[in-house]
A and B are shown apart, each in its own frame.
Chain A
Amino acid sequence: MRDLNERALRAKDKTSNLGLDIDLDTYGSEPVSHSYVEDLDALSEADKERMIMAGIDAEETERSGTYVQKDASVIYSRSRQEGIEVIPIIEALKKYEWVQDYYWKLVPVDTDKYTARTQLDLHNGYVIRALPGSKVVYPVQACMYMEREGLSQNVHNIIIAEEGSELHIITGCATAAHLQSGLHVGVSEFYVKKNARLSFTMIHYWAEEMMVRTRSAGIVEEGGLFLNNYICMKPVRSLQMYPTTHLVGKGAVARFYSLLVGSPESQMDIGGRIYLKEPDTRAEIISRAITNGGNIIARGDLIGEVPGVKAHLECQGLILNGGSIHAIPELEGMIDGVEMSHEAAVGKIAQDEILYLMSRGLSEDEASATIVRGFLSVDIPGLPPQLKAEIDRAVEQSDKDMSM
């Protein structure tokens, strides 16, 4: 721990080479504490409503566990299924030796000032683990909620799918309706062990002046599957992330999907990087970006290091109403015998598609909304129905906003 602190201290002013540089001192509010609730129903209606938008079900029907953190306080943390653990990370670090084997093992603590701050001023986060062979009946839900004006919420999450387990997580980040500005720094480390399946669906529901920096990395062992979905359809001032995954066992698979809507004045810089280090590994990165006036950079990077790997990258962008989309797909084949491809397209809605729908009776606005919704509806194989429903709901919500 002391070593980590020293490294973090040395990196505390280290800027990131992606995303605009944030002056961390601007976000100096002291967190106020919020008390633990025994039942999510005790939350205010306003809070619940914001959380629902980010995919969190306060009733916990069809959920195998729940973690809710408000600012820096854990207000609810509970598993509802044997073999599935949901523990606040500060508690986990105190109680369990094994957590050390995962803590800052994939994301270097001295990556930049954001990781440094997460180490030096940790505001909790969760450890979610599926024990060997355990399979969740329903997804586990986690929510990072921000209410305190001007706060920097620094969280660290560790997700472990032990050998042969199956774990699905939906994690929502949301802010209180009145919150104007804040910074969210999230570090996440994903461990998918042999023949395990992990899906992680993150829905962001920020506020207009929010800054977001997440730093995450994952590792997938032999025969494992990691599905990583990211949905952000609400305004945010500046958001930058570039999650990295290492496929280190034969036949390991990772698939990243992101659905982005850039509102006016939003700056999003979102990437995904997958290293294919063993034979028969597969990787796929698919992103769909729409801008209504925001600036979106959609990056993707696939690195094939051994023969017999397959990887595909797809970036599609629609510019609806000003703004920009910059697609930066990269492929790095390091050796003979890799099979890697990418497609990228940025454009506007095709007029002949609008007219086709209009000739079936839709108005011009209805026709565009239908096409936009179609553009955002990506089939994600292996995703449980509850999570598909949450993604569909987020998309529906967003086109309600767009048609206003």
Chain B
Amino acid sequence: MLQIEDLQVKLGDKEILRHIDLEILPGEIHILFGPNGSGKTSLLMTIMGYPQYRVTGGKILFKGQDITHMSVNERARLGIGMSYQRPPTIHGVKTRQMIEICAKEKIDVDALAKKVNFSEFLKRDVNEGFSGGEIKRSELLQLMAQDADLFLFDEPESGVDLENISLIGNIISELLQRDFRVESKKTQKERHKERTKMGLIITHTGFILDYVTADKGQVLFDGSLTCTTNPREIFRCISRVGYEECIRCAT
């Protein structure tokens, strides 16, 4: 479980997140909406533990542990994985090597890469000259190797072409144990119970909702979280009347 209590965060002198409360239970997927610059990426980076996002109040608990001041790699080891909106290029480190780094044990990198149409990129430096859509596939591939318990997806589908979007959508739902295509003797209810993976997904386009059945949606507006409700409903509301109206009706 991820539990965020009254979290306040500063970036430099700027108050970037105000009094955030958020709870993601095992097996739950949350969708995060919000206009550009509202602080969505900042929230994910804070959960991941980036030190420039300075926690000035409140706390973050994960799997029962207070992780508010844990280092990034300790959080990764505890089971938090993130797909970045704008990851840095690392010169001289091949994508293949990066996938091996993500997987704690030996894995079949080629088989994994094939699933996201990424085989020919393995020999390239991580993110070096990758297009927007290629970055998304590279990030997803890293998470597939890492296999976290809490997945933070920062706009996993923006900039991805139509052919790859269903590929990405289906893999995300598989990672989050929502893959209904898998043959199984168990009932939906039984499978529902067995889910443990958690997800927090940022989206502007809402495309991801076609592939992942999400439990809750929230809107981040000017550093504050509002409107916790059904994500499809929020998306419809935002599409029709815009963010400002949408949060007004909720509050």
Taking Cβ atoms with an 8 Å cutoff, the residues of A that contact B are: 350, 352-353, 355-364, 367, 370-371, 373-378
Q: How many A-B residue pairs have CB under 8 A?
A: 61
Q: List 23 A-B contacts (CB under 8 A).
A: A352-B88, A353-B90, A355-B50, A356-B84, A356-B88, A357-B90, A357-B101, A358-B73, A358-B76, A359-B73, A360-B101, A360-B146, A361-B76, A361-B101, A362-B73, A362-B101, A367-B73, A373-B93, A374-B90, A374-B93, A375-B91, A375-B92, A376-B92
Min CB distance, A393 to chain B, in Å? 16
Which of A359, A371, A378 makes the CB contact (< 8 A) with B82? A359
The B30-71 residues at the A interface (CB cut-off 8 A) are 48-51, 71
- Quick check: A370 and B93 within 8 Å, CB to CB? yes
Given A360-B98, A360-B142, A361-B101, are A374 and B71 neighbors across the interface (CB < 8 Å)?
Answer: no
Question: Other than the known A352-B88, A358-B76, A359-B48, what 4 A-B pairs have Cβ atoms closer than 8 Å?
Answer: A353-B90, A360-B101, A361-B104, A375-B92
Residue of A nearest to B101 (CB): A360
CB distance from B43 to the nearest CB of A (A): 15
Cβ of B84: which chain A residues have Cβ within 8 Å of it? 356
A173–B71 Cα distance when bound, in Å, is: 43
Instruction: Check if B109 is an interface residue, CB within 8 A of chain A.
Output: no
**Complex: A373 Cα to B94 Cα, angstroms:** 11
Query: Given the complex of chains A and B, what is the CA–CA distance between A7 and B77 in angstroms?
Result: 68
Cα A310 to Cα B98 with chains together (Å): 34
Residues of A within 8 Å of B125, CB to CB, are 374
* Cβ A361 vs Cβ B146 within 8 A: yes
Complex Cα distance, B76 from A364, in Å, reads 12
Contact assessment for B88 and A358 in the assembled complex, using a CB-CB cutoff below 8 Å: no
Q: Is B242 an interface residue (CB 8 A)?
A: no
| Docked-complex contact A360 and B76, CB < 8 angstroms | yes
Closest to B50 in A: A355
Query: Which partner residue on chain A sits nearest B71 by CB separation?
Result: A358
Interface size class of B (residues with CB under 8 A): 20 to 34
Q: Does B159 contact A (CB under 8 A)?
A: no
Give 4 nearest A-B pairs by CB, closest first: A374-B92, A358-B73, A374-B93, A358-B72
Interchain nearest-CB distance for A394 vs B (Å)? 15
The interface residues of chain B, by DSSP majority, are classed as mixed
**Minimum CB distance partner of B51 in chain A:** A355
- Beta-carbon contacts of B95-119 to A below 8 Å, as 1s and 0s? 0001001101000000000000000
A197 to chain B, nearest CB (A): 24
A95 to B49, CA, bound (A): 71
A275–B212 CA distance with the chains assembled, in angstroms: 61
Q: Smallest CB-CB separation from B82: which chain A residue?
A: A359
Interface centre among A352, A359, A370, A374 (most CB of B within 10 A): A359
B residues in contact with A376, CB < 8 Å: 92
Contacts of A360 in B (CB 8 A): 76, 98, 101-102, 142, 146
Min CB–CB distance A288 → chain B (angstroms): 9
A309–B163 alpha-carbon span in the complex (Å)? 44
Q: A370-B101, A371-B93 are in contact. Are A361 and B77 (CB under 8 A)?
A: yes
Closest Cβ neighbor of A374 among chain B residues: B92
CA distance A361 to B75 in the complex (A): 8
Residues of chain B within 8 A of A352, CB atoms compared: 88
- Bound together, the chains give a CA A355 to CA B104 distance in angstroms of 17
Residue of A nearest to B81 (CB): A359
Contact indicator B73/A364 (Cβ below 8 Å): yes
Which residue on chain A has the smallest CB distance to residue B80? Answer: A359
A375 to B125, CA, bound (A): 11
Given contact pairs A360-B102, A370-B101, A350 touches B76 in the complex (Cβ within 8 A): no
Verify A350–B88 contact, CB threshold 8 A: yes
Which residues on A sit within 8 Å (CB–CB) of B104?
361
Whether A359 contacts B71 in the complex (CB less than 8 A), given A370-B101, A374-B92, A376-B92, comes out as: no
Q: Which residue of A lies closest to B127 (CB)?
A: A356
Known A352-B88, A355-B50: A361·B73 in contact at CB below 8 Å: yes
Contact A356–B76 (Cβ < 8 Å): no
Give Cα A357–Cα B126 distance, bound, in whole angstroms. 11
Cβ-defined contact, B101 with A364, below 8 A: no
A363–B91 CB distance below 8 A: no
Task: Report the separation of the CA atoms of residues A360 and B48 in the bound assembly, to the nearest whole angstrom.
Answer: 11
Q: Separation in Å of the B152 CB from the closest CB of chain A?
A: 10
Q: In the complex, are the beta carbons of A356 and B90 less than 8 A apart? A: yes
A364 touches B71 (CB 8 A): yes
**Chain B residues with CB below 8 A from A375, complex form:** 91-92
**Chain A positions within 8 Å of B71 at CB level:** 358, 364
Q: How far is the CA of A164 from the CA of B10 in the complex (A)?
A: 66
Interface centre among B73, B81, B91, B125 (most CB of A within 10 A): B73
B230 to chain A, nearest CB (A): 31
Instruction: Note all chain A residues with C-beta closer than 8 A to B75.
Output: 359
